Structure 1
Amino acid sequence: MMKSGLRPAPPKYQLVFENLRQEILSGQYRAGQKIPSEAHLEKRFGASRITIGRAVRDLCHQGLVERRAGSGTFVRPTAPPLAAASGLSFGLLIPDLGRTEIFEFICQGMAEAPHAQEHALLWCNAMAAPGSLAEERAWQICQQHIARRVSGVFFAPLEENPDTAGLETMNVRILAALKEAGIPVVLLDRDALPFPGRSDCDLVGLDNWRAGLVATNHLLGLGSSHPFFLCSSRRTASSVEERIAGFHAALAARSQPVDPAQVQRLDLEDDGALRQMITEHRPEAVVCANDRTAGRLMQAALAQGLRIPQDLRIIGLDDIPYASLFSVPLTTLRQPCREIGIAAMQTMLERLKQPDLPPRRITLDAALVVRQSCDTPLPPGEEREFLVQRG
């Protein structure tokens, strides 16, 4: 059995601990200064009191802070300074961190990259009111990184609302603010501009066009003659649009006419919309924009009595940790998340050494992981993985 190469994400208390530790070592909190209360830290990091308490206790155990009964927690005078010559601080601006699984593993790859140990990754949490828009939270985090004068920012652009087409988006606003502050940016996973546009920043991520191509070719190779592509209508990312372009390219390579209805953009939270799509189009094979979309489609199809893969073949993209645990284990393309993180850190360090380099686009291939949702059912717990060769 091929096991996933993804590693468990670090617990949240560890992320809180690392951020506070780096703020202390970088001198943001001076010796003898009181750090914010645990109630304040709960709001800042969006974490529970238990999580904050454990992070603060670990700071105490490392001799960085001390608790004073009735007064609070203070930075110890003996806290060692961070080496200014080599220790750099990089900001994480990832609005989907904690909601989209791939970013936790990408961050882990950045932390494990060669030469990363001497640098710090700073994770911030906006103090925006509950229910505030993702755009507002992202802008607040951007301003925090600028105020801290970080050496660079890793930015995973916001997915755009289709209604914002033609307007200056928050992604553009964030890039302009960081550029004005003289802070280099490495984009993660997706561009900040709608596809096929490209921003003038380095980008590291999956080759999404090729992923869409490979996923579609897999279904065509199994005999599917009229596959569909399914994605969300609420928000879209350039990475999804690139996957759709790969879907179209696979059909064009086989001289298959493309019906606009083959790309379905639906409200994936609306079970009725999914049921209507299945009833109206009766798809026999679907490429899904990601594994979450595949899970929603699978749930709706099984509820309507369809058999997978006998009546409907489904393939996803990402290989999130529980894709193999779906009702029917999901065939998908596995993102090399750790390797993307390592490449992103290397790209940032190279950008700092050579700021005049032209913008670079570094894309990695995915591995096709075959499970039961597309092919003849395999024995329980088994899967096959293929590293797809470029042609």
Structure 2
Amino acid sequence: MKKSRRSASKLGPPPESDPSAHLSKHRRVFDHLLASIQSGELKPGDRLPSEAELGKLFDASRITVAKAVHDLQRMGLVTRRPGAGTHVLAENRPSGRTFGLLIPELGLTEIFEPICHGMMRTHFARPDALLWGNSSVSAQDGAKAAEQMVQSFISQKVAGVFFAPLELTSDKDAANRRLARALDLAQIPIVLLDRCYLPYPERSQHDLVGVDNRRAGYLATSHLIELGARRLAFFGEEFAANTVDARITGFYEALRVFKVKPEGEPVWRGSPQDEDLVRRMIDETRPEGIVCGNDLTAARLMQTLLGFGIRIPEDIRIVGMDDVRYASLLPVALTTIHQDCAGIGAVAMATMLERLEHPELPIRDVLVPVRLVVRRSCGAHLGPRHWSETKLTEQA
């Protein structure tokens, strides 16, 4: 009679002399299971002991064991099957696949290059490959270039596409719908990067990996409020991605929580290099602090304000978003919200691979945490204070 594959439920704990005994229980469970998989003691298809069994073996809580097993799952080493437990992934899963990068603004927006590098460097991607599209086009020509990339990806039968939707053009919504529809008709899975291509509250039928932009807007705004700023403005580019809309929502939420009532319209949309627009914002809002939709907007606005003779942060404090490479190199080092671009890339690749393995899963928004990076532009080194009512109008 043919012998059936053995169960791994009798896997024993490490010996008492094990050098990992000083580690945390989570690390001991994780390391022991990982070593068992790598050594072949746990073979592809073998079932791991249940969480209750592992908890008893390692004298650990169910939460600790579940976290260790989840970490193995994130590494692509095990898979959970409802009603059947957790099994070591078989070695015959598809390999050597090619994925397309549909990022029309790859050469125009700083965050996407490190996101792509994060995809390539993660162990999830090996031995898969990424096709980089042509990014040497302007924002206006992005839609046409993106359509050409889509047709190329379809003809090459890529396994999936990572798509960062177009922004900063009036026809971006229609163009993004066309691009996604073409890939859907070709039955090519899509993982969205940074944002959905549909305006809120619509939601596409594709996984999305990005950051909590509402929280980012809240963190930036509340930081300025805690430094004493009460007259605040938000400045963003016209036709920007809906991530900026979410950041504006966080901006308003911080005003509400801290009971700050804006004078006039606090949200301004347009080019930060439009001197007439910037002067109008200063005259009407008299801002003590400005939250910008992203770091590029903050850099350009900073240049305009300095050209007016306005001092940063003594007269106006500024906070950006993204923490791009040049943020600390601006004339006044920029306080900003950092997003882990490499982490977004790694999670995006893991999300794509899981989507290919389990196409029946519901769509997901996977949000990577953000954090505030304090530099000189917010004036934290000056301490909390109140501004003169006439200072800005005199200088502007």
TM-score by length of 1: 0.70
Out of 306, 309, 324, the residue aligned to residue 305 of structure 1 is: 309
Say whether the 8 Å CA contact 1:291–1:323 is kept in structure 2: yes
Question: C-alpha separation between the residues in 1 aligned to 2:216 and 2:225?
Answer: 14
Say whether the 8 Å CA contact 2:233–2:285 is kept in structure 1: no
- Percent identical: 48
Say whether the 8 Å CA contact 1:126–1:140 is kept in structure 2: no
- The answer to whether 1:158 aligns with 2:158 is no
Structure-2 residue corresponding to 1:200: 205
Question: C-alpha separation between the residues in 2 aligned to 1:254 and 1:84?
Answer: 52
User: Structure 2 matches for 1:204-283, cutoff 5 A?
Assistant: 204-233=209-238, 235-258=239-262, 261-283=265-287
Question: C-alpha separation between the residues in 2 aligned to 1:358 and 1:174?
Answer: 22
| Structure 1 residues 177 and 231, CA gap change in structure 2 (3 angstroms) | same
Which amino acid is 2:306 matched to?
Answer: L
**In the comparison of the two structures, how many residue pairs are matched?**
291
Structure-2 residue corresponding to 1:125: 134
| Structure 1 residues 253 and 216, CA gap change in structure 2 (3 angstroms) | same
Which amino acid is 2:215 matched to?
Answer: R
CA shift for structure 1 position 132? 6.3
Structure-1 residue corresponding to 2:100: 91
| Structure 1 residues 214 and 126, CA gap change in structure 2 (3 angstroms) | closer
CA shift for structure 1 position 269? 3.6
- The answer to whether 1:113 aligns with 2:122 is yes
Structure-1 residue corresponding to 2:292: 288
Task: Summarize deviations over 1:124-144 as a string: whole Å, max 9, x none.
Answer: 22899x996211111111111
Out of 153, 156, 162, the residue aligned to residue 148 of structure 1 is: 156
- The answer to whether 1:332 aligns with 2:332 is no
Say whether the 8 Å CA contact 2:313–2:376 is kept in structure 1: yes
Structure-1 residue corresponding to 2:112: 103
Pairwise CA RMSD: 2.2
Say whether the 8 Å CA contact 1:248–1:258 is kept in structure 2: no
Question: C-alpha separation between the residues in 2 aligned to 1:131 and 1:111?
Answer: 25
Structure-1 residue corresponding to 2:376: 372
Task: Summarize deviations over 1:50-70 as a string: whole Å, max 9, x none.
Answer: xxxxxxxxxxxxxxxxxxxxx
Question: C-alpha separation between the residues in 1 aligned to 2:182 and 2:125?
Answer: 26
Question: C-alpha separation between the residues in 1 aligned to 2:133 and 2:309?
Answer: 46
Say whether the 8 Å CA contact 2:105–2:139 is kept in structure 1: no
Which amino acid is 2:114 matched to?
Answer: F
CA shift for structure 1 position 305? 1.7
Question: C-alpha separation between the residues in 2 aligned to 1:153 and 1:142?
Answer: 9
Question: C-alpha separation between the residues in 1 aligned to 2:178 and 2:199?
Answer: 14
Question: C-alpha separation between the residues in 1 aligned to 2:202 and 2:124?
Answer: 33
Question: C-alpha separation between the residues in 1 aligned to 2:241 and 2:263?
Answer: 22
Partner of 1:261: helix, strand, or coil?
A: coil
Question: C-alpha separation between the residues in 2 aligned to 1:252 and 1:376?
Answer: 22
Say whether the 8 Å CA contact 1:278–1:301 is kept in structure 2: no
Partner of 1:174: helix, strand, or coil?
A: helix
| Structure 1 residues 367 and 377, CA gap change in structure 2 (3 angstroms) | same
Out of 196, 200, 215, the residue aligned to residue 191 of structure 1 is: 196
CA shift for structure 1 position 196? 3.1
Ranges in structure 2 where 5+ consecutive residues have no aligned partner: 1-91, 383-396
Partner of 2:322: helix, strand, or coil?
A: coil
Question: C-alpha separation between the residues in 2 aligned to 1:348 and 1:126?
Answer: 22
Partner of 1:205: helix, strand, or coil?
A: strand
Structure-1 residue corresponding to 2:31: none
| Structure 1 residues 254 and 273, CA gap change in structure 2 (3 angstroms) | same
Say whether the 8 Å CA contact 2:196–2:242 is kept in structure 1: yes
CA shift for structure 1 position 226? 2.1
- The answer to whether 1:177 aligns with 2:185 is no
TM-score by length of 2: 0.69
Partner of 2:155: helix, strand, or coil?
A: helix
Question: C-alpha separation between the residues in 2 aligned to 1:99 and 1:127?
Answer: 8
CA shift for structure 1 position 308? 1.4
Question: C-alpha separation between the residues in 2 aligned to 1:149 and 1:193?
Answer: 25
Which amino acid is 1:106 matched to?
Answer: I
Question: C-alpha separation between the residues in 2 aligned to 1:223 and 1:366?
Answer: 23
Say whether the 8 Å CA contact 1:210–1:365 is kept in structure 2: no
CA shift for structure 1 position 335? 1.1
Which amino acid is 1:317 matched to?
Answer: M
Question: C-alpha separation between the residues in 1 aligned to 2:153 and 2:183?
Answer: 9
Partner of 1:118: helix, strand, or coil?
A: coil
